[in-house]
Amino acid sequence: MSTVLRAAERTALPWKNGGGVTREIAAYPGDAGLEGFDWRVSLADVRADGPFSAFPGTERILTVVDGTGMNLDTGGRHLRAERYVPRPFPGDVPTDGRLLAGPVVNLNVMYRRGAAGAAVAVVRGELTVAAPPDATVLVVALDGPAEVAGVQLGRYDAVLCDAPGTAVRTDGHAAVVTLGRTG
């Protein structure tokens, strides 16, 4: 059975470094907080340039889902984060972000090295999502109406899929996040 996670039920919490707010969509384990997760998926509101919070021992995949984008300087490596393009980078390397043209909302996927792995794809149209063995698939509606496993979704609503083949249909964009355990 799939679990529906409505955007309206999420609470805005301050970033670890206090520079903005985030809304957690899902994490494993569910009660892990900001330090004990194997994986965590959230939406972050970024309204100003500044440093990212450091998360020792983690990898990140950032996808701009609203706004133009941002430039990232992560340990001397420069990345351009544009709308709907997933960008991986280490979560424990000092990282600064510079907005390109105003505020953005980022889908932020973090996973602990050695405990989990993750992949992010932004899709449109109709498809069947297959969850690999021992993995969790999270589908997040980003814009436009979406339907996952027969459930209607609004903007930023999500579904944790546990069926072997889950039908996804979106007139806009949806993020498909595959999260697997490695340890």
CATH of 116-181, one of 3.30.70.920, 1.10.3720.10, 2.60.120.1030, 3.60.15.10: 2.60.120.1030
Q: Where in the chain is the domain with CATH 2.60.120.1030?
A: 116-181
CB 141 within 8 A of CB 174: yes
13-33 pLDDT, tens digit per residue, is: 888 777 788 999 999 888 777
Going from the C-alpha of 72 to that of each of 77, 100, 110, 152, 177, the distances in angstroms are 8, 10, 16, 34, 22
Indicate the average pLDDT of the chain.
90
48-94 pLDDT, tens digit per residue, is: 999 998 899 999 999 999 999 999 999 889 999 999 999 999 999 99
130-147 pLDDT, tens digit per residue, is: 877 788 899 999 997 899
Mean pLDDT confidence for 115-127: 93
- The amino acid sitting at 98 is R
Instruction: Please give the model's pTM, rounded to 2 decimal places.
Output: 0.93
For domain 10-112, the CATH architecture is Sandwich (2.60)
